[in-house]
């Protein structure tokens, strides 16, 4: 059984954050950019971002975009 698309996207972004490829303060691509890159629907990207936000890995800034959060436990 394959992983749901939203979980695949969330996992890929999570891995980039944990590996240091995406660092605190880095901006994630736009929603459309993520849709194009991962080949998934708007709903899959939104769900993936909501998961990462709930995990405290990213934050949305009104009118600016989505950014990797500073990790307070390091």
pTM (two decimals): 0.90
Task: Determine the pLDDT at residue 61.
Answer: 94
Rg (CA), the chain: 12
Domain ranges of the chain: 5-68
CA 70 to the chain's CA centroid:
14
Q: pLDDT tens across 15-31, in order?
A: 999 999 999 999 999 99
pLDDT tops 80 at residue 72: no
Contact status, residue 28 vs residue 64, Cβ threshold 8 Å: no
Contact 6, 47 (CB under 8 A): yes
CATH 1.20.950.20 assigned to domain 5-68? The reply is no
Mean pLDDT, rounded, for 68-73 = 79
Please give the DSSP secondary-structure letter assigned to residue 34: H
């Amino acid at each position: 059984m394959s992983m749901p698309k939203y979980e695949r996207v969330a996992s890929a972004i999570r891995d980039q954050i944990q590996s240091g490829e995406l660092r605190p303060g880095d901006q994630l691509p736009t929603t459309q950019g993520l849709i194009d890159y991962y080949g998934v629907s708007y709903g899959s990207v939104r769900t993936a971002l909501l998961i990462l936000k709930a995990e405290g890995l990213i934050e949305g800034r009104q009118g600016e975009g989505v950014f990797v959060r500073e990790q307070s436990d390091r």
